[in-house]
Each structure stands twice: as structure tokens, then as C-alpha cells.
Amino acid sequence: MTESASSKENWLRSLWRAVNIPTAAVLLAALIGAVILLISGANPLDAYSALLKGSFGSLDALSRTLEKATPLVFSGLAVAFAFKAGLFNIGAQGQLLLGAITAAVVGFGIHGLPPYIHIPLALTAGAIAGGLFSAIPGALKAYTGAHEVITTIMLNYVAINLTDYLADGPWKDTSPGNIVARTPEIAAAARIPVVAGIPLGFIISLGIAFIAWWLLWRTTLGFEIRTVGLNPHAARYSGMKVARTIILTMVISGLLAGIGGAVETQGVVYRYQPGFNVGLGFDGITIALLGRTHPFGVIPAALLVGAMKAGSSTMQFDAGVAKEITDVVQALILFFVAADMIVRWILRIRAEEGEKITLSTGWGQQ
């Protein structure tokens, strides 16, 4: 509704309004990152140019950036989608792990399928695993009021333990010589190919982002989700099933995170190995907020963070800077996006009225 009818002449202005804070946040974070680099005795210019070279400097680098960005689009979408119902899914990490290992099991456990069946089958399996796992905090929130922030974080630890157990137990790679916890490699037919330097998974992520947008702004379900997020009392008043909407939103969010894990397994790692997907779910928080919790905003945000990941090894190699500096910069980006009041204050940008999500109205309320 809101965007469909906003007049065309304001198009540029609203685009500016959508990107001014995130852009400023990224620049400010890079600036403070430079200061931290200086303090720790590195040359920020060298570091950042190496970072750029490693992420956009060549076709190879560009392809790597897209590859890194792909799971991030999904975890960003997962967090952003839940935000619309006023839910903070910090559990994208755990849902992603379960998606990754389930895609792996479908990938190595089944043989002889053609790729056009095996790839979507493994992706779907990963999505369902993530969705089911995410239904738990959804149901707990809807029926007991247990805050999803704590339950999803606790479930992250459960997921880590569970996948560790599976990769070290029943689904362990038993090939001779392997002593670490990991699953066997998935069948070639389950691997998502890279076409002309573009990982196919990235194209899929664009399609899913569009579907997420359509769902939120063009369907009655999306209207219910956004109403629950903005005013659950009014949602109840108008006959919406708030509990059902909360659970459904969490399931969809978990599905998105689950695909993210599956894409990582099928497009990059080709197996499940503990420790390979660490932090992807948490990156989703930064990406969702940087993308202003809008499905289309998530894509450039994921590309940015993906570029930082892709370039960090080059940076470490060329400039001798620990690649964890990108984590610091990311945290700073998150800080400045979340604390947009600071950015507004620095840049003298006026605050706007808009759909504002409140997450912290206490523990027991719904």
C-alpha cells in the first residue's frame, strides 16, 4: 500500500531516505575501523585496498563475493522477515546449521538423481529442517510468552551440539583416514553449479527475496504478519489469529535460514563440517538492519558483508591484518545502523515517521 501509491517525483527522495543512514553507517564504521587498525599498528589504506582487491578486484574475486553473499542473503532475509512480525530471530544461526546438515544428508545419502531434482530436493529438505526448528521458539512465544530472543539463542547451542553429534556419530564420514567430525561429500548431482562466474545459488536468493517481498506486501498473510508486528492488540481485535501468525512467521523465517545453510552446503562446502558456518546467522542481524528490514535492502547489505568476507583473506595475506577486523567493522556497522539517532545527529538528517517495530515491550506480553 505505502509504496505502491507514493508518487513518482518523490522516488529519488525516498530512495535517498532509504539509503542515507545505511551508507553513512558503513562509512562511519570503516572510519572507526581505520582508527582501530592504526592503533594496532597496521596501515588502514593498505588494509582496505587489499580488502577491495580481494572482493571486487578481479572476476574471480567478484565471483567469490557473490558466493559469500549467497547464504548471507538468506540469513538476512530470515531475520528481516521475522522483524516484520515484531520477532527477533537470533536463532537464524541454529536454523542454518540444521538446514546445512540436512541438505548434506540428502546430498550424500541419495544417489542417482538428476541435478534438477537432487538440488531442489536437498534445498527443500534444508529449508524444512530450519523451518521446523524455528517453529519451536515460535510456539513457545505464542503459547507461553517465552521471549524468542532467549529461546532462539539457547536453541543455537542445542543446534550446535546436535549437529556436532550427528557429524561425529551417525552421519560421520567413515572414509579411511578421516578422524574429524564431518559428513561425507555430497553427490555431484546435489551441488549447485557456478555458471559463468555467477553462483546459481545467488540467483536463487534473488528470487526468494522477491517472493518474501511479495508475501509481505501483496498478500493477506503479509498484512497479518505486519499487523501483528505493529499492533498485536489490533490484530486480535480484527480477528487475526495472532498465535498462528507468530508461529507461521517464525517457520518462514526458519525456512529462509535453512535454505541459507543448504546453499552453503551445496554450493561451497559440499559437506557438513562443524565450524564452517559459524557466524552466518549472526551476520543476518547486521544485514537485516543494514537493509532496513526490507527484502530488497537485504541484497546490497549481504553483498557488502559478503565482499568483506571474500576480501578478508587477501587483506590478511597482502596487508598482514587479522581478518577479524571485518567482524569489528561489521559490529560497528550494526551499531551505527541500530543507533541511527547518532548518525542522524552527526549528519543532521531529520528523523522520519514510519513503521517502527518494537521488540522489547517486556517478557510476558504478546
Q: How far is the CB of 185 from another protein (least distance, A)?
A: 23
Instruction: Give the contact letters, 314-343, x = binds to another protein (CB under 8 A), - = no.
Output: --------x-xx-xxxxxx-xx--xx-xx-
Closest CA to 269 of 62, 124, 132, 126: 126
Q: Which of 27, 59, 188, 355 binds another protein (CB under 8 A)?
A: 355
CB 173 within 8 A of CB 184: yes
Residues 96-135 that bind another protein (CB under 8 A): none
Nearer to another protein, 9 or 353 (CB): 353
Stretch that binds another protein, among 17-25, 116-124, 298-306, 347-355 (CB under 8 A): 347-355
Residues 223-252 that bind another protein (CB under 8 A): 223, 227, 230-231, 233-234, 236-239
Total residues at the site for another protein (CB under 8 A)? 75
Q: How far is the CB of 335 from another protein (least distance, A)?
A: 5
Closest CA to 78 of 328, 291, 277: 291
Residues 199-228 that bind another protein (CB under 8 A): 218-223, 227
Stretch that binds another protein, among 66-74, 112-120, 161-169, 172-180 (CB under 8 A): 161-169
Instruction: Give the contact letters, 163-182, x = binds to another protein (CB under 8 A), - = no.
Output: -xx--xx-------------
Q: How far is the CB of 7 from another protein (least distance, A)?
A: 10
**In 315-347, which positions are buried (b, 16+ CB within 10 angstroms) versus exposed (e)?**
bbebbebebebbbebbebbbbbbeebeebbeee
CB 213 within 8 A of CB 299: no
Burial of 81 from C-beta contacts in 10 A (0-12 / 13-18 / 19+): buried
Q: Scanning the structure block, which residue is given the C-alpha cell 583473506?
A: 313
Q: How far apart are alpha carbons 35 and 139 in whole angstroms?
A: 45
Q: How far apart are alpha carbons 97 and 304 in whole angstroms?
A: 23
| By the rule CB under 8 A, 161 interacts with another protein | yes
Stretch that binds another protein, among 2-10, 45-53, 109-117, 195-203 (CB under 8 A): 2-10
* CB-side neighbour CA atoms (13 Å) of 156: 17
Q: How far apart are alpha carbons 120 and 65 in whole angstroms?
A: 23
Closest CA to 249 of 74, 84, 72: 84
| By the rule CB under 8 A, 352 interacts with another protein | no
| By the rule CB under 8 A, 155 interacts with another protein | yes
Instruction: Give the contact letters, 265-294, x = binds to another protein (CB under 8 A), - = no.
Output: -----------------x--xx--x-----
* CB-side neighbour CA atoms (13 Å) of 147: 12
Stretch that binds another protein, among 48-56, 59-67, 140-148, 199-207 (CB under 8 A): 140-148
